[in-house]
Structure 1
């Protein structure tokens, strides 16, 4: 068995903070869901291009764009007291847009981002499509994108009045995506997929 026996208490952020710098994981309900290796150059290129597009749009506006690695405490409330030893849910999305700057803490995001983007890799595809999608939905994320580099497509999920995500569109390399929270923001995928 690995260094964390099944009988051990759930993983907390306090424990995670003692790990060596550069060693990362994501945790839901105290269980490690991902300890993926460093991303590929293709993944990083897509992340960079998305960061540029969103960053240019949000320059001088109230919302902030942050790219991985940044830990997000999905289910904590920045207005309430919490301690790292009580946090058993955190993820490290590839890109987030946050419009409530109070959620941006010194070394983490506390609360659900407005928009989350995950870029698939073979090691993370199932987690991004299932575990993290469900967690983002439960946390109140308004818009969730799954970027598939292998097929050069983006799936866009929007939070409905029911609180559930609904697939609003699948966009390919030659499409332009309307970002639903901002009526004048469009992402041309020709600038994202090389």
Structure 2
């Protein structure tokens, strides 16, 4: 993998597309962020459990669930893809507007984005991505803290801003506000014991 120093500067989606396929990066307003190495087994367990619980609930709806790696391009306006300076890969993203989907992934914000926190990316997910998702209109943003079994939920208000988050334990079930009728039933803590 290239050293982070080799990715200093301002980049666009055109640059991003030329980087080696075996490297995972995100661009936030032109700045390159290396994705952490292969996620932990617990991270993967959460993704698998969430996909198994969410995907069937979307049957018959226009909404679709995608798991990383899946490029989500977030243009500032109507610039051409090559000029887009923000490309992220949420762990999970639900899109209900299929016109945002294309052969490259998605162009435009998902309705619901989920990040499963890793120590090396938690600050970026909590601060930079939260601000980014708010600015681009991600209607609901979940941050899952697997070790602490906590969930932080941000929801856009009627003014297009995230208010104070809800912080919940990963017990019972949690309703998805932007997808009426969809909920996540949380696995018991011992479901992830090795």
Give yes or no for TM over 0.5: yes
Using the alignment, how far apart are the partners of 1:131 and 1:168 within structure 2? 15
Ranges in structure 2 where 5+ consecutive residues have no aligned partner: none
**1:183 equivalent in structure 2:** 180
CA contact (8 A) 1:64 1:97 kept: yes
Residue in structure 1 matching 2:103, options 73, 92, 106: 106
Using the alignment, how far apart are the partners of 1:16 and 1:24 within structure 2? 10
RMSD of Structure 2 on Structure 1 (CA): 1.9
Residue in structure 2 matching 1:172, options 165, 169, 173: 169
Instruction: Find the residue that maps to 1:2 and give its secondary structure.
Output: helix
What is the CA distance between 1:22 and its match in structure 2? 2.0
Structure 1 residue 125 corresponds to structure 2 residue 122: yes
CA contact (8 A) 1:117 1:147 kept: yes
Q: Deviations over 1:89-114 (max 9, x none)?
A: 11110000000111111022100100
**1:14 equivalent in structure 2:** 14
CA contact (8 A) 1:67 1:96 kept: yes
Structure 1 residue 139 corresponds to structure 2 residue 171: no
> TM-score, normalization: structure 1?
0.89
What is the CA distance between 1:47 and its match in structure 2? 0.7
Instruction: Find the residue that maps to 1:190 and give its secondary structure.
Output: coil
> TM-score, normalization: structure 2?
0.89
**2:6 equivalent in structure 1:** 3
33-42 or 136-145, larger mean C-alpha shift: 33-42
CA contact (8 A) 2:72 2:87 kept: yes
38-47 or 28-37, larger mean C-alpha shift: 28-37
Using the alignment, how far apart are the partners of 1:113 and 1:2 within structure 2? 31
Compared CA separation, residues 88 and 184, structure 1 to 2 (3 A): same
Ranges in structure 1 where 5+ consecutive residues have no aligned partner: none
**2:23 equivalent in structure 1:** 23
**1:37 equivalent in structure 2:** 37
